[in-house]
Amino acid sequence: MDKGIFTALSGGIAKGHELELVANNLANANTPGFRRDVGTFNEYMTELRRQDSVEGLQREITAETLLDGRPAGDKSFVEMDGTYTSFKQGTVYRTGRSLDVAIEGKGFLEVLTPSGIRYTRQGNLSLGADGTLVTANGYPVLSGRRQKAGEGAFGDQEAQGRVITLKEGDVRIAEDGSIYQNNAPIGSLSVVEFKEDQWLEKVGNAYFRNVHPDNANDTTENTRVHQSFLEGSNVNAVSEMTKLIEITRAYESHMQAIKTYQDMDKKSANDIAKG
């Protein structure tokens, strides 16, 4: 079997993974606060994955004398190296609902989920049956803030006392997240900014987990909360659709290459049998 088939197969697998990412982005183009995902890819060569040996040492010596650093016969493959999330601001639009909030800036709402504290920019909030302010998934929105927005059993237990409960009456939410009901202050939304977005691990389509306890900023001066507005996803549907078509065509090309290699193998086997 020609080893070129594995090169084509690796490209097809990589494009398949990228296709899933783009399809998920498109599916959430209208999801408030959604952040698009982008795949990263890496080339690797089979020789670099082998154990150190005399042959491997000779390969490195030979590679130093070549322009592209690739000895003859070495096979190159592609793999998905990982994914990263784009935190670009989404479009803010008016809804008129008093419990809708749009986050402008780098901040996130702090919420309590069954798996612990998570962060979201999905601001279509509502009231639970007991008057608790909750997200679209029913997770309580938290008030106030700990000294550090870390993770752990203690933080989750402490968060239980910061659940926001509203009574009947008009609700006003200021730009700094302060909540007023019937003109009386009753608390504030816990809005958290982070130093490094790369330490936010995406959980589902709308929530993030902070994986570094020292990642939270002490202030949120770069964030504003807008009541009766929502932030849409940062997905450009036209751009993603164009990319979807390009990926589909590339995937089909890889599949055609695999078929060609298979036909070549069959022809070679038949020729040998006739000979």
The residue-averaged pLDDT of 130-157 equals 73
- Looking up tokens 């996130």, which residue turns up? 108
The residue-averaged pLDDT of 87-111 equals 96
Q: Give the single-character DSSP code of 138.
A: S
Tokens for 4, please give them. Answer: 């070129």
pLDDT of residue 257: 80
Has residue 70 got a pLDDT over 90? no
Output 13 or 48, whichever has higher pLDDT. 13
pLDDT of residue 147: 41
Output 7 or 131, whichever has higher pLDDT. 131
Residues in the chain: 275
**What is the reported pTM?**
0.77
Has residue 141 got a pLDDT over 80? yes
pLDDT of residue 3: 61
Q: Where are the alpha helices (DSSP H) in the chain?
A: 4-27, 54-64, 153-159, 237-274
The residue-averaged pLDDT of 92-104 equals 96
- Band (pLDDT 50/70/90 cuts) for residue 206 is very high
pLDDT of residue 59: 52
| Backbone torsions φ then ψ of 60, nearest 5 degrees | -65, -40
pLDDT of residue 151: 46
| Backbone torsions φ then ψ of 84, nearest 5 degrees | -135, 155
How far apart CA 230 and CA 93 sit, in angstroms, is: 6
pLDDT of residue 9: 78
Chain mean pLDDT for the chain: 83
Has residue 33 got a pLDDT over 90? yes
Has residue 153 got a pLDDT over 50? no
**194 in Cβ contact with 219 (< 8 Å):** no
pLDDT of residue 46: 53
Nearest to 113 by CA among 78, 150, 140: 140
- Residue-range domain boundaries for the chain: 4-87+236-274, 92-231
Q: Where are the beta strands (DSSP E) in the chain?
A: 37-45, 76-85, 92-94, 101-104, 108-113, 116-120, 126-127, 133-134, 171-173, 178-181, 184-188, 191-192, 200-203, 207-210, 224-227, 229-231
Which of 68-82, 152-166, 228-242 is least confident?
Answer: 68-82
- Band (pLDDT 50/70/90 cuts) for residue 152 is very low
- Band (pLDDT 50/70/90 cuts) for residue 56 is low
pLDDT of residue 148: 44
Which of 2-16, 71-85, 186-200 is least confident?
Answer: 71-85
